[in-house]
Amino acid sequence: MEGHVPEPTFTLEGWHILHDFRHLDFPAWRRAPEGERQAAWEELRDILAEWAGVEAAGRGSFGVYQVVTHKADLLFLNLREDLEALLAVEARLNQSRLAAYLRPAYGFYSVVELGSQTGPLDPEAPYVKPRLTPRVPKGGYVCFYPMNKRRQGQDNWYLLPARERAGLMKAHGETGRKYQGKVLQVISGAQGLDDWEWGVDLFSEDPLQFKKIVYEMRFDEVSARFGEFGPFYVGKYLTEEALARFLGVG
């Protein structure tokens, strides 16, 4: 690669994403008067209705999840057209009655991204817009994790020629296509926005598919040589009724 000047990846950007993971202070929540808990629940229902209205208008999407393990209790996942809209989402939840019983667990801000190593993408292509403005499935499970591309010695992703990067990503994509219909994948870019370079959301009706696809992709050269992964968060989608049961209200 001597004398080679690497070319950046061509990207198209779509909706902005906020992963807002929270702990629920269960002892304090249980000690709260029933009227207080009921008022907090009614306000949360209003918030969910607002989010559903945004989704119905085609200006975003959302999901609430119960997270497994001590890493978090709840994930409030929201996609919006821009950062201003996400800031309003975050402020609305932070100013709610329920926020008195929520504690930050983890957060990640990124933007849905489509990339090409070989040339600009056509924003008018029929497959592009649905991938830039994905809808959160209303059921099943989610697996989220942040990741980087390695920059160490000979394994420096950012020094590879575009053609070589394209070949590695093509092979990676072929692995992912084996899970079409089983796993929906949303990739978001976070360079300059958060501590990791990308966020990955996997949605499936079967959480075992997360294990299978991530494990199989580890054998792709692009992951084996260049992949660096952050913490994994897995959760189950909560309908309004399921969320009420989780909170012990309704």
Residue 203 identity (one-letter amino acid): F
Distance CA 92, CA 11 (A): 31
The tokens for 41 are: 């629940």
Handedness of CA 204, 131, 116, 177 (dihedral sign): positive
What is the Cα–Cα distance from 243 to 81, expressed in whole angstroms?
26
Is 145 an active-site residue?
Answer: yes
Q: Which two tokens stand for residue 177?
A: 């296509």
**Residue 27, class by beta-carbon neighbours within 10 Å (0-12 exposed, 13-18 middle, 19+ buried)?**
exposed
In degrees to the nearest 10, what's the CA dihedral of 78, 81, 84, 90? -10
Enumerate helices (H) and strands (E) in the chain, giving the number of each: 8, 11
Angle 18-91-56 from CA coordinates, rounded to 5°: 60
Q: Which of 184, 199, 21 is nearest to 110 (CA)?
A: 199
Q: Which of 145, 179, 233, 237 is catalytic?
A: 145
Residues marked active site are found at 145
